[in-house]
Structure 1
Amino acid sequence: MSKTELNSGSVRGPVDHDVRVQIVAAATEHFSLYGYEKTTVSDLAKAIGFSKAYIYKFFESKQAIGESICANCLSQIEADVRAAVSEAEHPPEQLRRMFKSIVEASLRLFSQDRKLYEIATSAATERWQAALAYEGRIRELLQDILQAGRQSGDFERKTPLDETVMAIYLVLRPYINPLLLQHGFDYIDEAPAQLSSLVLRSLSP
């Protein structure tokens, strides 16, 4: 499809979506090579073959592009975590799998593509909406597991649920937040099992 066709006022909706996907894909590749902080929208426009003004039709800033990339990465981590949790039948094992999968998925992001990891770091530092939404969904998943465990009798019910969710989330946070993850590599192998065991003992009825 030519740029003339893409700029036509008669084509909206799905075509706009396709262009956004194309820009995000190209930006992901570009950021992987050159890094997020060192890349400008002008650099992206030149690499993609669009004008800077045309890119601004779809994204209001470089951060908006970064947010889309960040959301894609975090969605993959979340999908991995949910898949791991769904493989377990009982809440205690679901919680163990949640700890293990979050650490493994976050570590993959750090080790496989350090340039894209810079975007995750910016998202955590500047509290981008994509990062906040991801953290919120992780807390919701944790709450679902805790509620199921209380209903099954595996977990205690005296502590207010929201307090328990936040306490366990804070235990997980060093492996969710990329700014903190890089400081915990010395304990990355044993941390999930030991932390989840400690949490599960605290949840005993």
Structure 2
Amino acid sequence: MHSAPSSPPPVRGPSDHDVRDQIVEAATEYFGRYGYEKTTVSDLAKAIGFSKAYIYKFFESKQAIGEVICANRLHTIMAAVDEAVGTTASAPEKLRRMFKTLVEAGSELFFNDRKLWDIAATSAGEMWPSARAYDEHVRALVTRIVRDGREAGDFERKTPLDETADAIYLVMRPYVNPLLLQHNLSGAAQATRQLSSLVLRSLAP
């Protein structure tokens, strides 16, 4: 006896992935207009046309939605930094470009998407996973540049690598951390040029 071939399951509408993307896209627009802190999941549900219970099937909280949006924004910044750094072989120039691009990309987000910037600032203040990943990416990039510079003979080798990388990150932090950058925007471009030069002088062999 042969079993009857099973029929494909009925199509029930968009996939979970599509629905999640739809919610994130709508939330990005809504948060960008009204702000993250002032928006509730109920507000978002009404704007999207879904029930609040339906949104909770895909995201456990408003923060979970904000986390995805923040991760997307920080990923865009890091992609710009990686591209800028990847176009030169010189470690000193990589360091300058990294610092410059981080500040430019962060400032652009602050001035052009101010309410979405608030999500990044909240993420940094509460150390959401996206903020931790961003910090780790920056730290890893600093470490790699310093290591490359030492191997090329551009940087001194006496100070332990992790100590050097941590010190550079601390110098950069007020201008690359979203929560802190908003208080250091005035003169940030000039400050980062000067600090880059100071750091590079301290790294000279």
Q: CA deviation at 1:185?
A: 2.2
Partner residue in 2 for 1:43 = 43
- In structure 2, distance between residues paired with 1:164 and 1:53: 50
Q: CA deviation at 1:179?
A: 2.1
Q: Which has the larger radius of gyration?
A: 2
Q: What TM-score, normalized to structure 2?
A: 0.92
CA distance in structure 2 between the partners assigned to 1:43 and 1:18 by the alignment: 21
Q: Counterpart of 1:189 in 2: which secondary structure?
A: helix
Q: How many residues align?
A: 195
What SS class does the counterpart of residue 186 from structure 2 fall into?
helix
Cα distance in 1 between the residues matched to 2:91 and 2:189: 22
- The answer for the alignment partner of 1:92 in structure 2 is 92
| SS of residue paired to 1:5 | coil
- Give me the whole-angstrom Cα distance separating, in 2, the residues matched to 1:196 and 1:153: 18
Structure 2: tracts of 5 or more residues without a match: 1-10
1:24 aligned residue: 24
RMSD of equivalent CA atoms: 1.3
How many Å separate the matches in 1 of 2:20 and 2:165? 36
Corresponding residue of 1:142: 142
Query: Quick one: distance in 2 between partners of 1:20 and 1:186?
Result: 38
Shift of 1:147: 0.8
User: What amino acid maps onto 1:5 in structure 2?
Assistant: R
Residues 19-42 of structure 1 show CA distances to partners (whole Å, capped at 9, x for unaligned) of 111111100000011110111111
Q: Distance in 2 between matches of 1:186 and 1:41?
A: 35
Partner of 1:199: 199
Residue 185 of structure 1 is matched in structure 2 by: 185
- Consecutive unaligned residues of structure 1, counting only runs of 5 or more, are none
Q: Match for residue 65 of structure 1?
A: 65
Give the equivalent residue in structure 1 for 2:12: 5
Q: 2:95 touches 2:196 (CA, 8 Å); kept in 1?
A: yes
Moved over 4 A (4+): none
User: Match of 1:119, as an amino acid?
Assistant: I
Q: Give CA-to-partner distance per residue, 1:73-121, whole Å, 9 cap, x none.
A: 0000000111111111210100010111011011011000111011111
1:163 aligns with 2:163: yes
Are 2:36 and 2:115, in contact at CA under 8 Å, matched by a contact in 1? Answer: yes
